[in-house]
Amino acid sequence: MTASGSVTLVGGGPGSAELMTAAAFDALAHADVVLYDRLAPHDRLADWAPRALLVDVGKQPGHHAVAQPEIERMLVRHALDGSRVVRLKGGDSYVFGRGGEEVLACREAGVPVRVIPGVSSATAVPAAAGIPLTHRGISHLFTVVSGHAPLSDDEHRHLAGLGGTIVVLMGAGTLPTLSAGLAKHGLDARTPVAVIERGHTPGQRTTIAELADIVTVAATAGVSSPAVIVIGDVVRLAWQGDASAARRLTDAVELVQP
């Protein structure tokens, strides 16, 4: 069976409509059905996709509002019915976004599918806090890891040995395991760590402390998902040349050691 409809996976960026691409708006404008996630920009979807049926399949951390296989069935079913379906996701669909699974489901069903890249929170959220992931002489690599499940001891060892910058998505809950694992395998206890919550939204907040203190400082601040964690010396660049911001790290340390 050949579908007359199609599926377009659209990366919606980290939350602000300003960071959506022209291609994203174009796909939405022509959509008949939009299946969207909680982290995708969606407050003005009715304006962006005026003809479309809007379906919230959003996931809260730890909960799946609509299970992944059901989302895939919905995409395929609407497309086989002849609809132009947009699957709107947070960030980029191919960065911890299960985009690959949805593309495969469409291909298996003979549904034409394309992917419009999005601005990933992995790079855009650190940038919102003034943190460059690479910097000449400080870091020439960055590793993006999922903190959804705790890493193994081996993974902590490899990560600690890599050098460069570590970026963690979905890591608010596993920060204690991660920081203990990295410290155990020799990452300097004074390495600065930044936790950036709700990047590119009005509620953005950055919490900074050294590796040895970050768990306590983050708990005191009550950090919660969604947050991107950046570990590495590049974090210091966020406040370089800014005396008031430079005090943040000292203040955070005093917060745990009054």
Q: Is 226 in the site for ligand SAH (CB under 6 A)?
A: yes
Catalytic residue among 26, 59, 74, 233: 59
Whole-angstrom distance, CA of residue 61 vs CA of residue 172: 11
Tell me the per-residue interface mask from 68 to 107 with ligand SAH, x by CB under 6 A, - otherwise.
---------------------xxxx--xxx----------
Whole-angstrom distance, CA of residue 27 vs CA of residue 57: 18
Residue 15 or 164 having the CB closest to ligand SAH:
15
Contact call for residues 118 and 91 (beta carbons, < 8 A): yes
Quick one: which of 45, 116, 170, 195 contacts ligand SAH (CB under 6 A)?
Answer: 170
Residue 83 or 93 having the CB closest to ligand SAH:
93
Contact call for residues 90 and 39 (beta carbons, < 8 A): yes
Quick one: which of 28, 109, 115, 125 contacts ligand SAH (CB under 6 A)?
Answer: 125
Catalytic residue among 20, 32, 89, 170: 170
Exposed e or buried b for every residue in 198-218, given b needs 16+ CB within 10 A?
A: bbbeeebebbbbbbbbbbbbb
In this structure, which amino acid lies at residue 118?
Answer: G
Counting every residue written for the chain, the total comes to 258
Contact call for residues 86 and 111 (beta carbons, < 8 A): no
Token pair listed for 45: 């979807």
CA distances for 171 relative to 53, 56, 174, 176, 219, angstroms: 33, 24, 5, 9, 13
Q: Is 227 in the site for ligand SAH (CB under 6 A)?
A: yes
| Number of residues in contact with ligand SAH under rule CB under 6 A | 26
Q: Is 164 in the site for ligand SAH (CB under 6 A)?
A: no
Catalytic residue among 20, 32, 37, 92: 37
Q: Is 198 in the site for ligand SAH (CB under 6 A)?
A: yes
Q: Is 169 in the site for ligand SAH (CB under 6 A)?
A: yes
Q: Is 39 in the site for ligand SAH (CB under 6 A)?
A: yes
59 a catalytic residue: yes
Give the residue numbers marked as catalytic: 37, 59, 170
